[in-house]
Amino acid sequence: MKNPPLKDNDKAFLRKAMENLLVPAEWNTLDFESLSGLVLLIGAKDSGKSTLSYFLYNHLVRSGKRCAFIDGDPGQTTFGPPGTITLVMGAEFPKLESTDRLSPDLDSYFVRRSFIGSTTPRGHMIPLLIGAERLRAASKQEEADVVIFDTCGLVDPEQGGLSLKHGLVELLQPDTIIAIQENDELELILRPLKRSKRTKILQLKPSQSARQRNQAIRQNHRRDQFEAYFRSAVTLEIQTSKYPIFPFPRFILNGLVSFEDVNGFSLALGIVHKIDRRAHQIGVLMPISELSDVDAIRLGDLTVDPVTFQDKLVR
pTM: 0.88
pLDDT-derived band at 2 (thresholds 50, 70, 90) equals: very low
- The span from the CA of 292 to the CA of 267, in Å, is 11
191, burial (CB in 10 Å: exposed 0-12, middle 13-18, buried 19+): exposed
- The span from the CA of 222 to the CA of 225, in Å, is 5
| Beta pairing partners, 126 | none
- 82-135 tens-digit pLDDT: 999 999 998 888 754 444 444 556 777 899 999 999 999 999 999 999 999 999
- 181-209 tens-digit pLDDT: 989 999 999 999 999 999 999 999 887 76
Of residues 224, 221, 233, 225, the one with CA closest to residue 272: 233
Mean pLDDT for the stretch of residues 142-150: 96
State the Cα angle at 16 between 60 and 225, rounded to 5°.
Answer: 70
- What pLDDT, on the 0 to 100 scale, is given for residue 147? 97
- 221-252 tens-digit pLDDT: 999 999 999 999 999 999 999 999 999 999 99
- What pLDDT, on the 0 to 100 scale, is given for residue 3? 39
Domains and CATH numbers, the chain: 8-204 (3.40.50.300), 230-313 (2.40.30.330)
Q: Decide: 252 and 303 in contact? Cβ < 8 Å.
A: yes
Where do runs of H (alpha helix) occur along the chain? 8-21, 49-62, 125-141, 161-172, 187-194, 215-229
Give the torsion sign (CA, 232, 238, 242, 246). positive
- What pLDDT, on the 0 to 100 scale, is given for residue 8? 41
